[in-house]
Structure 1
Amino acid sequence: MSEKRLRYSECLKIYDVEDSFIDSLHNMGLIHVVVHEDERFIEYDELTDLEQFIRWYYDMDINVEGIDALQNMLSKVKQLQTEIEQLKYELSFYKSLL
């Protein structure tokens, strides 16, 4: 876990979002909210994902459940792309043995 954090209240101001939206993302496991000394923070490492979720929610009108589904789907696509690259590498290795 990074020590670079953004205070939760500042995050709400910067991104101009409702706390219920971030709480929903947190409850779905999409964003982790860190509590330290009675203050809530969001890790800087999570801000890229948060920005994406904000665009999906406010610009594309996708609800939090839809965001969760999209995130899972994109994660699966990345995993499959990695697997394809590995299989291509193995195939080229075996072809070189022929």
Structure 2
Amino acid sequence: MSQRISREELVTLYNIEINFFDELEASGLLRTETVDEVKYLYYEQLPAFERFVNWHYDLEVNLPGLEIISRLLEQIETLQAEKRSLFYNIQSREDQPRS
């Protein structure tokens, strides 16, 4: 089982409002698991959670802004992966002996 941390612990540790966490979840920016009526966030999502908290509280980015930034970053990652794939494809074709 993956390690996880409860919503209540996160709210306390990061000194954030519980409704901010709930808004992140409702918008699809965070995926949680509920066990015995306690919401948990998996550790693998902590970096994204920390980014959202920093952007929201330090830079005053609102929820729609967080959604847009997140979507744009995902698109950049996809494009970078496609670029790497194309680069390796070209490299492998250039490395093949010619007839």
What is the TM-score of this pair, normalised by structure 1? 0.90
Q: Which residue is equivalent to 2:65?
A: 66
SS in 1 for 2:85: helix
Residues 32-77 of structure 1, C-alpha deviations (whole Å, 9 max, x = no match):
2221012221111111110000011011111111111111111110
Shift of 1:3: 3.3
Runs of 5+ consecutive residues of structure 1 not aligned to the other structure: none
Runs of 5+ consecutive residues of structure 2 not aligned to the other structure: none
1:20 and 2:19 aligned? yes
What is the TM-score of this pair, normalised by structure 2? 0.90
1:55 and 2:54 aligned? yes
Shift of 1:95: 2.1
- Matches of 2:87 and 2:6, distance apart in 1: 44
Q: What is the identity percentage for the equivalent residue pairs of Structure 1 and Structure 2? A: 25
RMSD: 1.3
Q: Which residue is equivalent to 2:32?
A: 33
Superposition misfits of 4+ residues, deviation over 3 angstroms: none
Residues paired across the two proteins, number: 97
Letter in 2 for 1:61: E
CA contact (8 A) 2:5 2:41 kept: yes
Q: Which residue is equivalent to 2:5?
A: 6
Q: Which residue is equivalent to 1:96?
A: 95
